[in-house]
Amino acid sequence: MLATKNVRLVLGVLFFALFSAGLISCTNKGQDSENTVVVYVSEDQVFSEPILKDFERQTGIKVKAVYDTEEAKSTGVMNRLIAEKDNPQADVYWANEPIRAQVLKEKDISAPYVSKNAETIPDVFKDREGYWTGFSARARVLIVNREVKSEPKSIFDLASPKWRGRAVIANPLFGTTTSHIAALFTVFGDERARAFMDSLKGNEVAISTSNGESADLVASGRYAFSLVDSDDAVNRIRQGRPVKMVYPDQGERGLGCFIVPNVVVMIKGARHPEAARRLIDYLLSPQVERKLAFADCAQIPLHKGVEIPPELKPLDRIKVMKVDYEKVAKKMLEIQPFLRKWAGLK
């Protein structure tokens, strides 16, 4: 009888211990899920990861980040988001330009969220329905070798006989060059934009593999100038290379400078919606824009009054090219056959 009671006592203790352990495990699992956010990132990891680490430290929310590789060229996580549409794994998408964010909206992969920190960001850099919001931008600028006596001031100088054979641009099938050309199509109309592109070819504008290569070719003196992203120009200036940066088409009748903001997106069906909203609020904050301005990516804040390094101009001192990013996204897909033919591909 005593042995039976002892066995029952031992079994009871074991049951209570196992039950308690299971309860603690479930509780911890729940706490972990409430204290986690999954973000897919197209912005370069070297710039985005420190921002996400700061968010972790400030909030205690664990960030699980999936970064694009250099080889994927900002398409890897985008394709993953599309593939996971029916079973979303990400809560937030940090894109390095608005075009892919617009594609996600059209494919019903994103969800609307209007952050309190979006109020002071200009409307042109936000989706009208709240499906994406821009922050920390690059400008499409001219990088000019300092040996050039009379500097170019417009993208139209790419087609000027004065600069025949002396300019270079990145392959228009890729990156921000594609977005910029698509934007020109939406502003000029198809006929004028095609004529402009043909004039570049007629003026013997060289084609490089990337904006970075274009910047280096100008810095070496091989070409007089190029159309690149502002971070490419700023980095060469900081390296002490003999170049300067010109914001194009800034005159009274000028076309203005094409701006490429980062954007942040809420994913439809996010598993951690509250943490996702907190991360989005953080990315859209002035403090993050200041960090990205002073980082090597040298990005331009979209909030007014954010401190910036001397190499950059604040947004309110730049004449901005007026575009509708939704139209740019659609046009970019539409002109792919033309661009492939222009670049010599079938």
pLDDT tens-digit series, residues 261-306: 999 999 999 999 999 999 999 999 999 999 999 999 999 999 999 9
The confidence band for 68, taking pLDDT boundaries of 50, 70 and 90, is confident
Residue 165: other Cβ atoms inside 10 A: 11
The confidence band for 72, taking pLDDT boundaries of 50, 70 and 90, is very low
The confidence band for 106, taking pLDDT boundaries of 50, 70 and 90, is very high
- How far apart CA 56 and CA 52 sit, in angstroms, is 6
Is residue 4 pLDDT above 60, yes or no? no
* DSSP SS3 for 164: coil
Structural domains of the chain, with CATH? 35-137+260-314 (3.40.190.10), 138-258+336-342 (3.40.190.10)
Helix, strand, coil shares of the chain, percent, nearest 5, are: 45, 15, 35
Which residue in this structure is represented by tokens 């954007």?
263
The confidence band for 344, taking pLDDT boundaries of 50, 70 and 90, is confident
More confident residue, 270 or 1: 270
In this prediction, residue 73 carries a pLDDT of: 52
pTM for the full model? 0.86
Classify residue 160 as exposed, middle or buried by CB count within 10 Å of its CB (0-12, 13-18, 19+).
middle
